[in-house]
Amino acid sequence: MDKLVKIGILLDFYGKLLSEKQYQIMELYYLNDFSLSEIGEELRISRQSVFDTIKRSEEKLYSFENELGLVDKFYSSQDTIRDIRKIAAEIYEIGKNGANKEIMDKAIGIEERISKILI
CA gyration radius, the chain? 22
For residue 50, count CB atoms less than 10 angstroms from its CB and return exposed for 0-12, middle for 13-18, buried for 19 or more. Answer: buried
| Predicted pLDDT of residue 1 | 58
| Predicted pLDDT of residue 107 | 86
| Predicted pLDDT of residue 56 | 98
| Predicted pLDDT of residue 65 | 97
Report how far residue 5's alpha carbon sits from residue 2's, in angstroms, rounded to the nearest whole number: 5
Report how far residue 20's alpha carbon sits from residue 25's, in angstroms, rounded to the nearest whole number: 9
| Predicted pLDDT of residue 99 | 80
Report how far residue 44's alpha carbon sits from residue 37's, in angstroms, rounded to the nearest whole number: 10
- Contact 63/40 with Cβ under 8 angstroms? no
| Predicted pLDDT of residue 119 | 63
| Predicted pLDDT of residue 93 | 86
Which residue stretches of the chain have pLDDT < 70? 1, 119
How much is the pTM?
A: 0.75
